[in-house]
Amino acid sequence: MSVITAVDTFDIRFPTSQDLDGSDAMNPDPDYSAAYLIIRTDAGDGHGGHGFVFTIGRGNEVETAAIEALRHHVLGRNVEELLADMGATWKLLAHDSQLRWLGPEKGVIHMAIGAVVNALWDLKAKRAGLPLWELLSGMSPEDLVALVDFRYLSDALTPEEALAMLRAAEPGREARKAALLAEGYPGYTTTPGWLGYSDDKLARLAKEAVAEGFTQIKLKVGASLEDDIRRVRTARDAVGPDVRIAVDANQRWDVQDAIDWMAHLAPYGIAWIEEPTSPDDVLGHAAIARGVAPIPVATGEHVQNRVMFKQMLQAGALQVLQIDAARVAGVNENIAILLLAAKFGVRVCPHAGGVGLCEAVQHLSMFDFVAVSGTKEDRMIEFVDHLHEHFVTPVDVHGGSYWPPSAPGAGTEMLRETLADYSYPEGPVWAAGAVLETTRKESR
Ligand SMILES: [Mg+2]
């Protein structure tokens, strides 16, 4: 028996706004950040559970405080007990009768629950000696169903239906696992498309992406129609007719604006329009989907919980579902969302990039392929070639594909030096803040 002895938190920030990496129509100058935690035990095996919430700078201290507000649920608890029944552990955190008022099941507190849940999954996978995708893919359909809170879902998906889907996928698991190891899982890249990049840089990076083997790139749009038409044309000229180009408006538009704007971009061949409007506007997304068809509508990185995804699917509001490893309450809730997507026959193309999102979310797509939807067709995981060097087990993306990680854990562990260097505001990177502030102003 072992006990959780500490839940350490870190406010980690990277000064990415200096280079306009990550810039889009709503977020012109993000400092990519992580509200990070390590769950430590007295087991003596050296394993800690690592998890985080991705944020883009200011407010990361609020997210870190929210993680700390959950500490009492796990500190001093029996580790084996918590990890043996992750469905019960999820409910312990998500159903906290007082903290729930801050949501319910949305926003800062819900994301903090996700970080704690993901840290526990990281610990569970390390103890099992397996990467998370493989751990999940080896669980019985009954045990997987037990991870999900079906409250608010049963009008769209019952535990019995979920069980039937998972059982139907069970016989093909071994063959798909072999296929995954042999072929990898397709990725696409957003690296060329940040709004702050010049046309030359966009064209160069787009060509490089194709040369690297990617079959889809994504461009940020939504600030200026004239610029967007020129940038999409530039990208199309650079990649040729066969590479897919998705666009992402990061919630910039009202419903009619989205429909009108997309009519101007449609002639260049658009793979999907992502986050055209508010992530809470279910009916608005449905109207946009009708208005821009056959261009698919994609959303999910800001969809706050499984209940919103349920409504989006019921309303025909999205054709591409973008789970995010750090937006909802962790692995358990993302399994609920993967099951919903499978029930509705909608493809899942995860949101990634940020800090560690690629490392984390790949496990969910790989698990989905092996044990849930059973298909990779038209599915791909977002990739941004950025900040991976700060992780103990960075993603292996080459030839346009993600390659299944073999290291035990959930991929969420950052390097110890990174935690020291980028801690805000006391780490050496930020302690030199006067210099950074000057550089940042000059770059605008
Ligand atoms: Mg996006």
Q: Say how far apart CA 194 and CA 38 lie, in whole Å.
A: 32
Rounded to the nearest angstrom, the distance between the alpha carbon of 279 and the centre of ligand 1 is 11
* Per-residue model confidence (pLDDT) at position 432: 67
Q: How far apart are CA 301 and CA 226, in angstroms?
A: 27
Residue 224 Cα to ligand 1 midpoint, Å, equals 17
Other residues' Cβ atoms within 10 Å of the Cβ of residue 169: 20
Supply the pLDDT for residue 206: 96
pLDDT of residue 439: 47
What's the pLDDT tens digit per position in 319-341?
999 999 999 999 999 999 999 99
> Which helix (DSSP H) or strand (DSSP E) does residue 60 occupy?
helix 60-69
pLDDT at 437: 52
Helix segments in 85-198, DSSP class H: 86-94, 107-128, 132-137, 141-145, 159-169, 173-183
pLDDT at 436: 54
Over residues 347-401, the pLDDT tens digits come to: 999 999 999 999 999 999 999 999 999 999 999 999 999 999 999 999 999 999 9
Tell me the C-alpha distance between 271 and 42, whole Å: 50
How confident is the model at residue 23, as a pLDDT?
Answer: 74
Gap from CA of 33 to ligand 1 centroid (Å)? 16
Residue 101 CB neighbour total at 10 angstroms: 9
Cα(270) to ligand 1 centroid in Å equals: 15
Which domains are delineated in the chain?
Answer: 168-416 (3.20.20.120)
Distance 194 CA to ligand 1 centre (A): 11
Predicted local distance difference test score (pLDDT) of residue 336: 98
Q: Which residues of the chain have a pLDDT value below 70? A: 432-444
Determine the distance separating the centroid of ligand 1 and the alpha carbon of 96, expressed in angstroms. 31
Token match 């500190």: residue? 75
CA atoms within 13 A on the CB side of 389: 3
| Confidence (pLDDT) at 176 | 98
**Phi then psi dihedrals of residue 5, to 5 deg:** -100, -20
- Amino acid 441: pLDDT: 41
Instruction: Record the pTM.
Output: 0.96
pLDDT, residue 433, reads 60
Residue 19 pLDDT = 75
Report, as residue numbers or ranges, the catalytic residues: 220, 351
